[in-house]
Amino acid sequence: MVSFLHEMLLNLLYGGLWAGGFIAALLLMAWGFGLYRLLSLEENKALSMKMLGGHVCSFIQSSTLSFDNHGKIVIGSGPQTFGWSLFPFLFRVRGAVVYLWPLFWPNDYEKTNKKGDGFGAGNFVDLQDIPGEITTPMAETKDGVPISVTFETTRRVTDPRAFQYDSPEDVIHQADKRTEAEFARWIATVTDDQVQEFRGNGQALWQSLEAGGFNLFLVVMEEGSTGGTRPQRAWGLQTIPNSVIIRKIDYDPDYQRAKKARKEADLNADAEVVRLSVPDRMFRDWVEARVTGGTDAERDVSRKAILATAEAKEKEAYYQKVWQLVLGAEVRDNTYHIDGGDLSSAIALADAFGLGVVRGGKRQTSTSTSTKPTSHANKTQQEKANEWAKAHAGQRPGWYKGPRLSDETEASWKNAGSPT
């Protein structure tokens, strides 16, 4: 009995050695004939291996990324191989994958995904964050402004297997179109001013998208009912949260022209208000303060009656005469620059309007004094005063109520015996 068991064990051992030797010989032959192949992995890229036409295993090479228990790419240390691999037919040696061809072979990216989409090439899928631009067609904002917005979105592949086998071939194009539709729907929920405010603020924009129910994660899903026989499946592609920013805002040309015309009309209207003379405003305010009546029609009747009175005509003439004293005044930077007329009256009137007066390069108020004017405006006043003195036998001009103008002028009035 013992000898039988001993003989059986020896036969098993010899059989195992023979089989092992045979397999080793086949492997050596496969290596010799070039059937064993080696493929170096690239940093931050994923490799998908196939057997009999189906995916069996994924490999990545990264110092910052790894696989979780479901084959998703996550940030952090962990396994860098996910799926089924069998030594000595398919195995990893440091930064390379060794496989027995044609039993195993790497996926060709351009056979499962569109060439030149920027997310992969050759046998590899790029795992880096990849930015791209999406421009919406012309759409109206909540307040009816037609705009086209260029968004920058940053995406990354989170599941190499799903990205290559579950997604459509033109997955990036499909994702762009669906995201574009979400952006267009979002534009209709915000005003033009809000779009401008979100420009360059990715975090606020993302919060607005989330608050409005515009989920940029769900747009990269296969269509289908989540509860039906064909459930939604992720495409293995993710829009990175808070990475969406507005790069450019374009307005409809017709709207731009209309906006420009409206702006010019507003400016012209403002200019008309500015051009409304001070005496007209003063007289208008005097009239309006006396208008009575509860309705617009009653107030119109009252206004016409006031304008027809002699008092109104005298008041209108009075305001015009008062303003003639400062007809040469020019307002620049909220300041009167006197170029003629009575200086003290200009100062008083400027004070009434809450303005200052620049005289000789310095701002003055009604309490300011200066004995030696240097501006062209004051020389004009002196000339007028001298002419008056000569024409009226040295009398001080009664219309002049201002401060001293010059020693020469004051002396001419004194010499004529006019009170100072």
- Are 44 and 130 in contact by the 8 Å Cβ rule? The answer is no
Q: State yes or no: pLDDT of 346 exceeds 90.
A: no
Task: Examine the domain organization and report whether 24 and 50 are in the same domain.
Answer: no
Name the packing angle between helices 407-415 and 376-391 (round to 10°). 10
274 assigned to some structural domain: no
Cα Rg of the chain (Å, integer): 45
Question: What's this model's pTM, rounded to 2 decimal places?
Answer: 0.55
47, 290, 293, 306 from 297: Cα distances, Å: 85, 15, 8, 14
The DSSP bridge pattern shows strands 36-40 and 65-67 to be: unpaired
Residues 24 and 51 in one domain: no
Looking at the domain assignment, is residue 293 inside a domain? no
| pLDDT at 103 (0 to 100) | 87
- For residue 316 the two structure tokens come to 């209108």
Same domain flag for 96 and 30: no
Tally of domains within the chain: 4
**Is residue 313 assigned to a domain?**
no
Q: 243 and 137 in one domain?
A: yes
Q: What's 152's domain CATH number?
A: 3.30.479.30
**Are residues 14 and 70 located together in one domain of the fold?**
no
Same domain, 221 and 189: yes
pLDDT tens digits for 185-205? 999 999 999 999 999 788 999
* 220 lies in some domain: yes
Same domain, 156 and 99: no
Of 211, 226, 254, at which residue does a domain stop? 254
Under 8 Å between Cβ of 74 and 136: no
The whole-number pLDDT of residue 110 equals 93
Indicate whether 270 belongs to any domain: no
Q: Are residues 24 and 44 in the same domain?
A: no
Would you state the structure tokens that stand for residue 182, as one six-digit string? 């979400």
Domain termination residue (choose one: 219, 254, 289) = 254
Predicted confidence at residue 375, as pLDDT, reads: 40
Q: What is the pLDDT of residue 84?
A: 84
Residue 390 is inside which H or E element, if any?
helix 376-391
Residue ranges making up the domain that contains 55? 40-107
Q: Are residues 137 and 171 in the same domain?
A: yes
- Domain shared by 223 and 172, yes or no: yes
Mean per-residue pLDDT of the chain: 74
Q: Are residues 71 and 16 in the same domain?
A: no
User: Which amino acid is residue 261, in one-letter code?
Assistant: A
Q: Region 72-81: what's the mean pLDDT?
A: 92
303: in domain: no
DSSP of 52-110? TTEEEEEEEE-SSEEE-TTS-EEESS--SEEE---TTTEEEETTEEEEETTTEEE--HH
386 band by pLDDT with thresholds 50, 70 and 90: low
Q: Are residues 30 and 67 in the same domain?
A: no
Q: Is residue 265 part of a domain?
A: no
Two structure tokens written together for 309: 């009175």
205: Cβ contacts below 8 Å, ≥ 6 apart: 198, 244, 245, 246
Is residue 241 assigned to a domain? Answer: yes
C-beta of residue 84 within 8 angstroms of C-beta of residue 194: no
334 has pLDDT over 50: no
pLDDT score of 107 more than 90: yes
pLDDT of residue 60: 95
